[in-house]
Amino acid sequence: MKGFGNFTVMEMKLLLREPIVLLFGVALPVVLLAVFGNLAMMKTPDPNLGGLRVLDVYLPPLISVTITMLGLSTISAVLSNYRERGILKRLATTPAKPLTLLLAEMVVHLVVMAVTVALLLVVGIGLMDIPAPKDFAGFVVAFVLAAASVFAIGLLVAAMAPNARAGSGLGSILFFPVVFFAGLWTPGPAMPEILRQIAVFTPLGAGSQAMQAAWDGDWWQPLRLGVMVVYAVGGCLAASKLFRWTS
Amino acid sequence: MPVIEVENLIKRYESKTAVDGVSFTVEPGEIFGILGPNGAGKTTTVECIEGLRRPDGGSVKVFGLDPLRDAEALRERLGVQLQESQLPDKMKVREALKLYASLYRDPADPLELLEQLGLTDKLDSYYSKLSGGQKQRLSIALALIGNPEVAVLDELTTGLDPSARRDTWELIEKVRDRGVTILLVTHFMDEAERLCDRLAIFNKGKVVAVDTPSALIEQVQSDVRVHFQPSKPVDSAILEALPEVTAVHTTATETVVTGTGNVLFAVTSALAAQQVIANNLRVEQANLENVFLQLTGHSIED
């Protein structure tokens, strides 16, 4: 793991120097929350949601947007760009292992995700009276598993993309179905039952539902947590088979 | 013991054989060149030496070690400059050097290295803001940051202007003088002739010759042409009578004598005997270009 610390610090600096990443990964979900939080329809208790406001079930989908942005779109674009430019190949000739860089990337993206989620929680719970998760530890478990399953898909995209353009293109195309099933347009109980049944088999459908369940105090969701574990493990195994350090 | 031993190396890509039975050795402290046109298998060969590719046949040893099996031990001792390898746009020169230095047990001093490469005033520039020559020099610095015993440099002056090329050549000679063995891949004849102690000429996946540049040039059966402006008219028959001379051609501005062997000495002696002074004397001799043409039947540019 030679150089892990240095890679992590360096990649964090590089990520912070790309304003576009911070704009879409960090600022966008927070801005969406601020905008929705001030729309009357989001703030009115809805009998279809058992008297809850839409806003009250909207944090898991927004957290899912952050996870997808950073764990799927950004990381696959960064890695396929690094491969295309020979950066991974160059590293393969040093005593550091390219795998070290991969892990450093995941840590960096996970940290930025966690910061964004913290911001969302502070704004949502602090300023908009959204109730805090009843089972906070359970929520963290669901969040980490959701992040892991999306990272795995991000790595798989980076592994399969022949070049940087294809990498970021594929990442963007996958973004919409992933956040659709996470309930960005039909949050929580607003999602039709049949769609929810399908969504549970997608990484962030399962993730969003598991986070919402932890919010409601019922964190143990074997099916949803299991689906995420399968994505995380399966994706990483497939990526490790397919990942090429050289273009 | 040789630093690098390549024996009967074979590497295929699908149906194409990129490297077809290549053998050569690189001795400690020399600048060894791999010269050949694009697609001759040069880069594939050095990538096998760097442990980036698995040979399909033959053997590669660096310090007696296998580049794939003993990769860990070798990477500390082998510095690499890859063709067309870049850095992240927003990485600063200083950061790149420090990051790569941190990967080695006994790194060189990054600042000293940048000083030698004339990059000191670019320490805080982003990679994307560097000129082509500066990027190239940075990649040379990164190849040397681990204090390697052997450095493999692939097309190191491609894209540089003439003065930057000469500076880079001087730098490589300085590095060699510090005791670093250098394996240089190039398709530039002048670069190979100027820098290399010995070189292997590659063509279509095979080594067609290995020797010092001057020995290679001597082997070529080619004419020497002596150009000069005589101080007074010379009877060309006198020159034609010399055994070394094959032809004499006189134009309004100069006389050109074509011949073999030591034709220069024969001509100047004959002129001196006639009390003729040869002004603006210029000798055209065979170079690696002719060597390549003779060995392969085509020019390196084809």
User: What is the per-residue DSSP string for A44-84?
Assistant: S-BGGGTTB-GGGG-HHHHHHHHHHIIIIIIHHHHHHHHHH
Interchain contact, B87 vs A87, CB within 8 Å:
yes
Interchain contact, B88 vs A87, CB within 8 Å:
yes
Interchain contact, B82 vs A17, CB within 8 Å:
no
Q: What is the pLDDT of residues A171-218, one digit of tens each?
A: 888 989 999 999 988 888 888 999 999 999 999 999 999 999 999 998
In chain B, residues with a C-beta closer than 8 Å to the C-beta of A96 are: 103
Whether the CB of A244 is below 8 Å from some CB of chain B: the reply is no
Number of neighbours of residue A193 by Cβ within 10 angstroms: 7
Q: What is the pLDDT of residues B102-140, one digit of tens each?
A: 999 999 999 888 888 888 999 999 999 998 888 988 999
Question: Which of B87, B191, B74, B104 lies closest to B138, judged by CA?
Answer: B87
Q: What is the pLDDT of residues B151-206, one digit of tens each?
A: 999 998 887 888 888 888 998 998 899 899 999 999 998 899 999 999 999 999 99
Q: What is the pLDDT of residues B276-293, one digit of tens each?
A: 888 888 888 778 888 888
Q: Is the per-residue pLDDT at B221 higher than 70?
A: no
Q: How far is CA B157 from the centre of its chain?
A: 10
CA distance A235 to A241: 10
Among the residues of chain A, which ranges form H helices?
4-16, 19-21, 28-36, 40-43, 59-68, 75-84, 87-91, 98-121, 128, 136-160, 164-181, 193-199, 203-215, 222-242
A140 or B238: which leads in pLDDT: A140
Give the ipTM. Answer: 0.85
What mean pLDDT, rounded, does chain A reach? 89
Provide CB contacts within 8 A for A138, sequence distance 6+: A213, A214, A219, A220
CA distance A42 to A58: 9
Interchain contact, A3 vs B99, CB within 8 Å:
yes
Question: Measured between CB atoms, which of B51, B86, B102 is closest to A87?
Answer: B86
The reported pLDDT for the residue numbered B302 is 61
**B18 and B202 in contact (C-beta within 8 Å)?**
no
The reported pLDDT for the residue numbered B106 is 93
Would you call A194 exposed, middle or buried from its count of C-beta atoms within 10 A (0-12, 13-18, 19+)?
exposed
Lowest-confidence pick of A15-19, A42-46, B185-189: A42-46
**B255 and B234 in contact (C-beta within 8 Å)?**
yes
